[in-house]
Amino acid sequence: MVKQTNLLAVAKPRTIKLTDGKEYTIPPINLTTLANIEKTMGFGFGRFASKMETEPMTTLRALVFALFKESHPDIEIEELGRLITIKEIDKISGTISEVMSISS
């Protein structure tokens, strides 16, 4: 019997604990999330790869901020940047990879 995938299944949000000890929610990636990411970053995914080449850390911080802003609208980009170390970047790399693969 062939296993069928439910294309209508909703992805679940992910949580991550940052350096302040609090848990933050990363929303599931859907069309609204992607549109909000573009709006927050100030450029479309078509420019994502070139932005990563010229401004990798600024672009990465903007992407992570856009993801977090969905569930945590009061967080500021500078505050979030200070809460994220390489360890946390590694933890959210799956979500970042999902978003980055959309831009290819």
Sequence ranges of the domains in the chain:
14-102
Burial (CB count within 10 angstroms: exposed 0-12, middle 13-18, buried 19+), residue 42: exposed
Say if residue 98's pLDDT is above 80.
no
pTM comes to 0.78
Ramachandran category for residue 93: left, alpha or beta (phi over 0 → left; psi -120 to 50 → alpha): alpha
> How many whole angstroms separate alpha carbon 77 and alpha carbon 34?
18
Beta-carbon count within 10 A of 78 CB: 10
Query: What is the tens place of the pLDDT at every residue in 9-62?
Result: 556 788 889 999 999 988 888 888 889 999 999 999 899 889 989 999 999 999
Q: How does residue 94 score in pLDDT terms, banded at 50, 70 and 90?
A: confident
CA distance 93 to 3: 28
